[in-house]
Amino acid sequence: MKRHSCCYKQKLRKGLWSPEEDEKLLNYITKHGHGCWSSVPKLAGLERCGKSCRLRWINYLRPDLKRGAFSSEEQNLIVELHAVLGNRWSQIAARLPGRTDNEIKNLWNSCIKKKLMKKGIDPITHKPLSEKEESNSVSLRNSLSSMIPTQFNIDDGSVSNAGFDTQVCVKPSIILLPPPNNTSSTVSGQDHVNVSEPNWESNSGTTSHLNNPGMEEMKWSEEYLNESLFSTQVYVKSETDFNSNIAFPWSQSQACDVFPKDLQRMAFSFGGQTL
C-alpha cells in the first residue's frame, strides 16, 4: 500500500492498528469526542493521520457497531437497496444500523455478488445475466435521456419515462411509496419499505431463464418476488428520522443528490412504474 502524502511528511504510522493505539483513540474520543479529526491523533498521542483515525473509529471502534455475521434479512436488504441506490455504500449503510459502509461494501464484493451471479443475476443491473446486452442499450438510452431534464415530471412526484418502451423486467421488492400528496420530494408520515428475500440457496429455474428469452422477463420477475422465503417490512418513520440520519433518496437532505439522476435509476429499476 502506498502511504498518504500527509503520512510521508510526518513519518506517521500506517497499517494495522495495535490494541494500544485503539485504546488511545477510544479513550480520547470517549472523553472529548472527535472534534476536528486532523487534531485527534496529536491530542490522543497517536502517530497516525486524522484520516486514518477517523476510519478506524467509524469502521471498528464506534460503540454502536454491530458485530458478527450479516443476517439473511440484512443481506436481503442490502440487495434491495443496492438495486435502487447502486454502489452508494454510505447511503445503504445508513439504513442498516450498526453496519459500516466498508463492511457492506466488503460483503457485497466478496459474497453477495457471487451469490447473485450464481443465480444468474447481474449484480450491477440486478437483471438476469442474459439480458445484459439489452440492458446496455437501455442504459445508453437512459443516459441520453438524462441530458434532457424536462423529460421528468418532478412536480407531481411522478417519473415519466419519456416514451421509452420500458420492458424492464426486474422490480426490486422494496416498495418506495411516494409522498402522500405527491407535491414534494420530501417524505412525511410513515413510509413503508417492503423487502422480500431472494432464495439464495435455490438454483432451480436459473437455467430456464437463459433458455427461454421470450418468457424470461415475466418469469424472472415473478420468481424473484415469489421465491422469497419471507418478507420483511421495514418502516421508516418520518421525515425527522430521515433528516437525522436515515436518509431516503427523496428526503430533503438528499434530494439534490437524488434528482434527476436517481429518479432516472429508480424509474428504470421499477420498470417505468410511476412512484
Residue 64 as a binder of DNA (CB under 7 A): the answer is no
3-state secondary structure of 65: coil
What is the chain's alpha carbon radius of gyration, rounded to the nearest angstrom? Answer: 22
Q: Closer CB to DNA, residue 7 or residue 234?
A: 7
Q: Which three cell numbers stand for residue 33?
A: 469526542
Quick check: 11 binds DNA (CB under 7 A)? Answer: no
Exactly one of 11, 16, 64, 211 binds DNA (CB under 7 A); which one?
16
The answer to whether residue 90 forms part of the interface with DNA (CB under 7 A) is yes
Of 14, 141, 171, 219, the residue at the interface with DNA (CB under 7 A) is: 14
Among 27, 30, 71, 87, binds DNA (CB under 7 A): 87
Q: Where are the beta strands (DSSP E) in the chain?
A: 191-196, 231-236
Which own/partner contact pairs does 96-103 have at CB distance under 8 Å and 24+ positions apart? 97/64, 97/66, 98/64, 98/65, 98/66, 99/65, 99/66, 99/70, 99/74, 100/58, 100/59, 100/65, 102/55, 102/58, 102/59, 103/59
**Which span sits near DNA by CB under 7 A: 32-40, 72-80, 139-147, 164-172?**
32-40
Please, what is the minimum distance in Å from the beta carbon of residue 110 to DNA?
Answer: 4
Residues that bind DNA (CB under 7 A): 1-5, 7, 13-17, 35-38, 48, 50-52, 54-56, 59-60, 69, 87-91, 101-103, 105-107, 109-111, 114
